[in-house]
Structure 1
Amino acid sequence: MVELFQDGGWAMWPLLILLIIGVAVAIERLFNLSRSSIDAANFFANLEETFANEGPDAAAELCSQTRGPVASVIHAGIYHVEKAIDNSGAVEMAFLERGMVWLSTVANLAPMIGFLGTVSGMINAFQAIKEAGDVEPSMVAGGISEALITTASGLIVGILIQFCYNFCANRIDKIIADMTEQTARA
């Protein structure tokens, strides 16, 4: 693995940095999104029962004890319904979408840097041919190897991070849909 990294040339360093950034952001997003998920329908049923039987203070307490954006939005809206729900919903959506631009950027940049490494490797291969005058396969093999390694590495990083981005975006969409559905019932 280390040999492949070294054979990939200079482009492997930015790819490694992008991989580290992408994985760190993906782990943070997956952790926070998993903490944000609740059974919104069940929560709302409990909330309605609590509100009807014990009043708004008990309902607010239930919301504050329940994690996730759905509970936060409802908590904000218990006393000042319309404005509070709109404001709180915007804040929660921003929290959910935090870091997603980094995942998207890494997923898009990694293949481009890989292809830039490909161009660099091919330039090195042709430079070796130019300097030698006589073409031997071993002269160009290093440059071609560098080109292929950086292409593959860029694509692997891009595909991995794009998968994480899509997974997180899907989770965010589901949470937002739950928030919208449940707050419309409020």
Structure 2
Amino acid sequence: MKKLTIALFAAGLLLMGQTVYAQDSTKQTTEAVVVDSSDADMSIEEMIGNEDMAELAEMAAEDIGMHQELKNKFIEGDPRYMSLVAIVLIIGLALCIERIIYLTRSEVNTKKLLSDIEKKVESSDVEGAKTICRNTRGPVASVCYQGLMHINESAEDIERSIISYGTVLTSRLERGCSWIKLCIAIAPSLGFLGTVIGMVMAFDQIQAEGDISPTIVAEGMKVALITTIFGIIVALILQVFYNFVNSRIDRLTTQMEEGAINLMDIFAKVKAKSEK
């Protein structure tokens, strides 16, 4: 209740400040608008000045922004070919984001997980250790669960089972990466396709006009170069995301290997204690 009162009081002060500022601004605007009647017939250029008009025009041009510039280049590069590059970018980013979310959710605190499993195994509560693995997401917990399933077998059989199941989990982690690589390869290829088509358009126009004009050649060359640039940019963007995904996969694979090694050490320690 106290926090709510303070928040309402602060909001009231802010509202009062805005009201006073609005009144002052209105007053200043009214004073600035009042001019002599002799100045009423002056043009805007004469009142502002040519230099100020040039600065305003430059500021207006800058306000177009990068988004409008990209839109213009997209249209100049012929939407028929640029749309294909854009579709590849969207599909590639969707695959990358899906993999990043999946891999991020698969990461767990490996040390804590193995510590909990070790406590359960030392107290001969194998089912409790399995329950911990089932309730923990990620490939590390799955590898540990696979080892606990064969805890009564020999060390060689346990290791063989863990390695085989680890291969399956690694393939799950890499699911969709081949499609990302395909998008990386397709994007510049589509750009080069636009380049070839743009060159063909230029030569067709030269043939139709019967004369080599810089204007005719420039139009086709522009389409060619813009599509190539966008194709390479898309490939570079997807390559960065792909490398990030690969780094996450390598990290999880390393955690799986460390978890398997530590789990085998836990089994060996427990068996040594039981034999004594």
Mapped pair 1:57 → 2:119: no
Q: Single out whichever of 121-130 and 2-11 deviates more from structure 2.
A: 2-11
1:75 aligned to which of 145, 161, 166: 145
Query: RCO (CA 8 Å, sep 6+): is it higher in 1 or 2?
Result: 1
Consecutive unaligned residues of structure 1, counting only runs of 5 or more, are none
Aligned residues: 186
Answer yes or no: is the 8 Å Cα contact 1:47–1:62 preserved in 2. Answer: yes
1:57-116: CA deviations, max 9, x gaps? 111111111110000111121021335423421221111010000011111111111111
Give the CA deviation at 1:33: 0.6
1:12 aligned to which of 61, 77, 82: 82
Task: Determine the structure 2 residue equivalent to 1:43.
Answer: 113
Task: Determine the structure 1 residue equivalent to 2:230.
Answer: 153
Q: Single out whichever of 49-58 and 155-164 deviates more from structure 2.
A: 49-58
Give the CA deviation at 1:54: 5.6
1:109-154: CA deviations, max 9, x gaps? 1111111111211221232223223333322222111111101110
Q: Which has the larger radius of gyration?
A: 2
Task: Determine the structure 2 residue equivalent to 1:31.
Answer: 101
Query: 2 CA distance for matches of 1:19 and 1:79?
Result: 44
Answer yes or no: is the 8 Å Cα contact 1:22–1:161 preserved in 2. Answer: yes
Q: Single out whichever of 82-91 and 176-185 deviates more from structure 2.
A: 82-91
Query: 2 CA distance for matches of 1:181 and 1:91?
Result: 17
Counterpart secondary structure, 2:172: helix
Which amino acid in structure 2 is aligned with residue 178 of structure 1?
Q
Task: Determine the structure 1 residue equivalent to 2:171.
Answer: 94
Query: 2 CA distance for matches of 1:103 and 1:28?
Result: 11
Task: Determine the structure 1 residue equivalent to 2:244.
Answer: 167
Consecutive unaligned residues of structure 2, counting only runs of 5 or more, are 1-69, 151-157, 264-276
Query: 1 CA distance for matches of 2:71 and 2:224?
Result: 16
Task: Determine the structure 1 residue equivalent to 2:259.
Answer: 182
Which amino acid in structure 2 is aligned with residue 105 of structure 1?
L
1:14-68: CA deviations, max 9, x gaps? 2122112101111110110101112323322232123223621111111111110
Query: 2 CA distance for matches of 1:54 and 1:146?
Result: 71
Query: 2 CA distance for matches of 1:154 and 1:164?
Result: 16
What's the Cα RMSD here?
A: 1.7
Which amino acid in structure 1 is aligned with residue 98 of structure 2?
E
Query: 1 CA distance for matches of 2:111 and 2:213?
Result: 70
Task: Among all aligned residue pairs of Structure 1 and Structure 2, give the percentage whose two residues are the same amino acid.
Answer: 39
Query: 2 CA distance for matches of 1:131 and 1:39?
Result: 69
